[in-house]
Amino acid sequence: MPFRRYPRQFRQLAAYGLSGIAAAVAHYGVLIGLVELRGMAPVPATLMGFVAGGIVSYACNRWLTFAATRTHAEAGWRFALIAAGGFVLTGVLMHLFVTKAGLPYLPMQLVTTGIVMAFSFLGHKFFSFADRAR
């Protein structure tokens, strides 16, 4: 496979980016659908979208990005812990940006996504899917 000729870190970041795109499609689809079609407030809608994106993210990152050696039982609770941090961070940032500052929800979701993505990558790389000690 030609992708294997690139350094591991590059492949990992590329796979994380592709996994992130898939998760973002799920997240933003739920967010926009709930806000625009159901009239839901942006903060609870983005948190529901976060959960949808989190499910996609776990599946993609476990197999594509990190080639996890931990079992689901080992990686699952670790992923959930990092995801919970991202969930809280998403809620707090969106509340500050949209509810408190009155900024438009979609541009602020993009900003929030970037911040949470950096937090999540580091957490998943070094904690959720890190290789077990040998």
Tens of pLDDT, residues 39-98: 999 999 999 999 999 999 888 877 787 766 777 787 788 888 999 999 999 999 999 999
More confident position, 84 or 125: 84
The maximal CA–CA distance of the chain, rounded, in angstroms, is: 51
* Residue 124 included in any domain: yes
What's the one-letter identity of residue 17? G
Decide if pLDDT at 7 tops 90: no
Helices (H), 2-128: 8-32, 38, 42-60, 72-94, 105-123
pTM higher than 0.85: no
The Cα 115–Cα 95 span in angstroms is: 15
pLDDT of 131: 65
Average pLDDT over residues 116-124: 88
Average pLDDT, the chain: 88
Write out the residue range of the structural domain in which residue 13 sits. 2-128
Is 81 contained in some domain? Answer: yes
Query: How many domains does one find in the chain?
Result: 1
> Does residue 28 fall inside a structural domain?
yes
The CA–CA distances, whole Å, from 89 to 1, 8, 54, 121, 131 equal 38, 29, 14, 14, 26
| 6 within some domain | yes
Residue at 133 is within a domain: no
**Is residue 86 one of the residues assigned to a domain?**
yes
134 in any annotated domain? no
Say if 61 falls within a structural domain. yes
Higher pLDDT, 118 or 129: 118
* Residues 11-20, mean pLDDT to the nearest whole number: 85
Reading the block at residue 37, the tokens are 């079609």
